[in-house]
């Protein structure tokens, strides 16, 4: 399939034919983690759920993962939000280099779209059709403060790539996250049921592995306790140990639980 490249200052866009580059910005942001409590390697957050792997500054150079876009259940009115992404930084630093999809409820109706963000820079929509059930692959790589983010809709074949220099990025964590975005505060979380991540893998220092292949003192499970009362909880990851040969990419799910009535 042919693809077209668009050169803009500090950005490179690669999109499939039939789609146009969209530069307008979502109203919400995808911010670093807001930690409410941490006990050992278990973290409770207001805005994130999933897993993070940490390393020394400058050690994280690659992260990737796959997920199926979940179908959200919307209330009859009101707005709710849920973003699903892979990225570098944000667990213990003030930047996040990330790309993913969103499943929101706007005035009671579901909407789905792809986006990227080099936080604290603004978030941008991606001109890519997204539907519940689509299989998404995302990849973020870093070298010397230069970041490349890529997302592919495996179901439709559409893909997108862009890059940004982030001089202040720490390159100290990799993440696979379901997020309640931020706009003047953490936004209400939409009911996404369960989102399943697979092919989860990162490069930290000289180690490229799924979650089981890293020092487990540096692997953090993150539970979201959203301000609206909803929670999102990650399952244990599989495989729980890495074989001596073959792939060690991880799989896990994140499940939404509604506010207590």
Q: What is the pLDDT of residues 69-125, one digit of tens each?
A: 999 999 998 899 999 999 999 999 999 999 999 999 999 999 999 999 999 999 999
Supply the pLDDT for residue 1: 37
For residue 251, the SS3 value is strand
The DSSP-derived string for 206-247 is: TEEE-GGGS-GGGEEEEEEE-TTS-EEEEPPPB-SS--SSS-
User: For residues 134 and 156, is the Cβ–Cβ distance under 8 A?
Assistant: yes
For residue 156, the SS3 value is coil
Q: Which two tokens stand for residue 52?
A: 């993070």
Instruction: Give me the chain's average pLDDT, please.
Output: 90
Name the CATH superfamily housing domain 4-19+35-257: Peptidase G1 (2.60.120.700)
131 alpha carbon, distance to own chain's centre: 17
User: For residues 173 and 54, is the Cβ–Cβ distance under 8 A?
Assistant: yes
> How far apart are alpha carbons 250 and 191 in whole angstroms?
24
Supply the pLDDT for residue 241: 87
Supply the pLDDT for residue 150: 98
- What is the maximal distance between C-alpha atoms in the chain? 52
Give tens-digit pLDDT for 170-208. Answer: 999 999 999 999 999 999 999 999 999 999 999 999 999
User: For residues 178 and 3, is the Cβ–Cβ distance under 8 A?
Assistant: no
Give tens-digit pLDDT for 9-43. Answer: 333 333 333 333 344 456 689 999 999 999 999 99
Does the reported pTM lie above 0.85?
yes
Supply the pLDDT for residue 242: 85
- CA distances (Å), 47 to each of 31, 43, 169, 212, 243, in order? 8, 11, 20, 24, 33
> How far apart are alpha carbons 58 and 55 in whole angstroms?
8
Supply the pLDDT for residue 254: 98
**What residue spans define the domains of the chain?**
4-19+35-257
Q: Which two tokens stand for residue 213?
A: 């292949």
């Amino acid at each position: 399939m042919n693809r077209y490249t668009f050169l803009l200052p500090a950005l490179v866009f690669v999109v499939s034919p039939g789609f146009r580059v969209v530069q307008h910005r979502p109203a919400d942001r995808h911010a670093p983690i807001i930690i409410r409590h941490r006990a050992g390697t278990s973290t409770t957050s207001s805005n994130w759920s999933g897993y993070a792997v940490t390393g020394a500054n400058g050690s994280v150079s690659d992260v990737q993962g796959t997920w199926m876009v979940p179908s959200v259940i919307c209330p009859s009115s009101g707005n709710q939000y849920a973003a699903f992404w892979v990225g570098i930084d944000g667990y213990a630093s003030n930047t996040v280099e990330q790309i993913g999809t969103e499943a929101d409820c706007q005035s009671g109706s579901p909407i789905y779209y792809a986006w990227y963000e080099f936080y604290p820079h603004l978030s941008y929509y991606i001109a890519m059709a997204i539907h519940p059930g689509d299989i998404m692959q995302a990849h973020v790589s870093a070298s010397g403060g230069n970041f490349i983010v890529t997302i592919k809709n495996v179901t439709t074949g559409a893909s997108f790539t862009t890059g940004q220099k982030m001089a202040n990025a720490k390159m100290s964590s990799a993440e696979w996250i379901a997020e309640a975005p931020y706009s003047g505060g953490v936004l209400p979380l939409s009911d996404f049921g369960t989102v399943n991540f697979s092919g989860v893998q990162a490069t930290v220092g000289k180690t490229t592995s799924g979650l089981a292949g890293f020092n487990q003192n540096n692997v953090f499970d993150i539970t979201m306790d959203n301000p609206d009362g909803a929670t999102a909880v990650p399952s244990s990851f599989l495989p729980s140990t890495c074989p001596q040969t073959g792939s060690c990419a991880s799989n896990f799910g994140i499940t939404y639980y509604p506010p207590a009535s």
